[in-house]
A and B are shown apart, each in its own frame.
Chain A
Amino acid sequence: MALPPRLASTLEDLAFFTDRAERVQALVSVAERFRPVPTETAAPPYEEAHRVPGCESEAFVWVGEEGGGLRLDFAVLNPQGLSAMALAVVLKEGLEGEPAARAQDVPDEIVFELFGRELSMGKSLGLMNMVRAVKSGAARLA
Chain B
Amino acid sequence: MALYDKAAGGYVNAEAVVSTDWVAEHLTDPAVRIVESNEDPLLYSSGHVPGAVEVDWTRDLNDPLMRDYLNRDGFSALMSRIGVARDTHVVFYGDRNNWWACYALWVFSLFGHPRMSVMDGGRIKWSQEGRPMTQERPVTLATDYEAPERDDRTERAFREDVLMLLADRGRLIDVRSPGEFKGDLVHMPDFPNEGALRGGHIPTAANVPWARAVDPESGCFLPAERLREIYEQGAGLQSGDDVVTYCRIGERSSHTWFVLRHLLGYPRVRNYDGSWTEWGNSVGVPIER
Contacts and interface: CB of A to CB of B under 8 A. Distances in A.
Interface string A107-127: 000000001101111110100
A21 B46 CA distance: 11
A79 interface: yes
Interface residues of B, number: 27
Interface string B26-46: 000000000000011111011
Contacts of A80: 40, 43, 95-96, 123-124
Interface stretch (B65-73, B79-87, B183-191, B223-231): B183-191
Given A54-B190, A118-B59, A24 B41 contact: yes
Count chain B CB atoms within 10 A of each CB in A25, A79, A115, A120 and give the residue with the most. A120
Given A54-B189, A80-B123, A118 B46 contact: no
A48 B248 CA distance: 27
Given A28-B45, A118-B58, A121-B194, A82 B40 contact: yes
Interface string B242-258: 00000011010000000
Contacts of B155: none
A104 B42 CA distance: 27
A28 B137 CA distance: 15
B43 A82 contact: yes
B56 interface: yes
A82 B58 CA distance: 18
A27 interface: yes
Interface residues on A, range: 20 to 34
B97 to A, nearest CB: 10
B130 interface: no
Contacts of A129: 190
B192 A24 contact: no
Interface string B132-145: 00010100000000
A56 interface: yes
Interface string B52-63: 000011110000
Contacts of A81: 40
Nearest to A24: B45
A118 B39 CA distance: 10
A79 B194 CA distance: 27
A129 B191 CA distance: 9
Contact of A25 (B43, B45, B56, B95): B45
B127 interface: yes
A55 to B, nearest CB: 8
A69 interface: no
A119 B251 CA distance: 13
Given A54-B189, A80-B124, A118-B56, A31 B41 contact: no
Nearest to B190: A54
By Cβ-Cβ distance, the 4 closest A-B pairs, closest first, are: A54-B190, A53-B190, A82-B42, A118-B58
Interface of A: 21, 24-25, 27-28, 31, 53-54, 56-57, 79-83, 86, 115-116, 118-123, 125, 129
Interface of B: 39-43, 45-46, 56-59, 95-96, 123-124, 127, 135, 137, 188-192, 194, 248-249, 251
10 contacts: A54-B191, A57-B40, A83-B40, A83-B41, A115-B41, A120-B57, A121-B249, A123-B40, A123-B41, A129-B190
Given A54-B188, A118-B59, A122-B188, 19 more contacts: A28-B42, A28-B45, A54-B190, A57-B40, A80-B40, A80-B123, A82-B46, A83-B40, A83-B41, A86-B42, A115-B41, A118-B56, A120-B39, A121-B191, A121-B194, A123-B39, A123-B40, A123-B41, A125-B192
